[in-house]
């Protein structure tokens, strides 16, 4: 849906330009702020939230179509940790199975506009705007739990889903240099906004994180 929305907005320019494929990798260095975030106990406890580090590793892949001075670049990442335990059944018969699943699926897209025509041999400046969402994948079940225990774990799963789920957007700028063979080297920086929340039995806390993200890029134009 995100791809269709971006393409439809710029459909007139796509119809009159040659469409090419563009893919690459961004490297975002691990910094002191990341260490402080973990040290202060701000992680979700599931490893699957946007700010936990496992869902968004330092090396990030992206790709999509470019036409003229326009580009629609998409990215996807996921993290899932599933622990399955087989325990003895006190009443005999098959073992009782307990499954703990914690994960997230992140889908995002950026519209990029080059300020000069894309060509090899000279620096190319661009600006971009993007958005993303994180879909939680949390499940706690066990054949060994009583109904009251399952109800408690269902509530815990609801709270963890709220911590993992989130959405945000970005505004950025960058520059790159493209060679005749299609290899592209560049760098980017920009503002990133993330909206997350915590939910428990008594309250809902909404957190908005605004930060600056800078990355080095390696791209391939086909």
- Predicted pLDDT of residue 16: 61
- Predicted pLDDT of residue 17: 74
Report domain extents, the chain: 2-221
Q: How far apart are CA 47 and CA 31, in angstroms?
A: 18
The model's pLDDT over 123-177, given as tens digits with 9 standing for 90+, comes to 999 999 999 999 999 999 999 999 999 999 999 999 999 999 999 999 999 999 9
Closest CA to 49 of 129, 133, 109, 108: 133
pLDDT band of residue 91 (cuts 50, 70, 90) is: confident
Ranges assigned E (strand) in the chain: 19-27, 59-67, 70-87, 96-114, 123-142, 166-178, 183-199, 204-221
Domain 2-221 indexed as CATH 1.10.3470: no
pTM: 0.86
The model's pLDDT over 34-53, given as tens digits with 9 standing for 90+, comes to 666 666 667 788 989 998 88
Q: How far apart are CA 116 and CA 70, in angstroms?
A: 10
- Predicted pLDDT of residue 45: 84
Q: How far apart are CA 168 and CA 157, in angstroms?
A: 23
């Amino acid at each position: 849906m995100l791809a269709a929305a971006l393409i439809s907005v710029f459909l007139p320019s796509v119809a009159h330009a040659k469409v090419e494929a563009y893919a690459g990798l961004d490297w975002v260095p691990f910094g002191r702020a990341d260490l402080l975030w973990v040290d202060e106990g701000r992680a979700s406890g599931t490893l699957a939230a946007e700010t936990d580090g496992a869902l968004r590793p330092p090396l990030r892949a992206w790709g999509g179509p470019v036409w003229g001075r326009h580009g629609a670049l998409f990215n996807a990442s996921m993290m899932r940790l599933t622990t399955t335990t087989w325990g003895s059944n006190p009443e005999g018969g098959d073992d009782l199975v307990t499954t703990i699943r914690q994960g997230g699926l992140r889908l995002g897209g950026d519209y990029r506009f080059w300020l000069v025509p894309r060509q090899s041999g000279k620096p190319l400046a661009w600006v971009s705007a993007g958005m993303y969402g994180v879909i939680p994948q949390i499940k706690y079940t066990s054949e060994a739990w009583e109904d009251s225990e399952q109800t408690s774990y269902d509530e815990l799963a609801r709270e963890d889903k709220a911590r993992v789920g989130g959405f945000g957007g970005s505004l950025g700028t960058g520059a790159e240099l493209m060679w005749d063979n299609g290899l592209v080297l560049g760098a980017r920086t920009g503002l990133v906004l993330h909206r997350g929340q915590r939910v428990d039995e008594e309250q809902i806390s909404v957190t908005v994180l605004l930060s600056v993200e800078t990355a080095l890029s390696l791209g391939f134009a086909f």
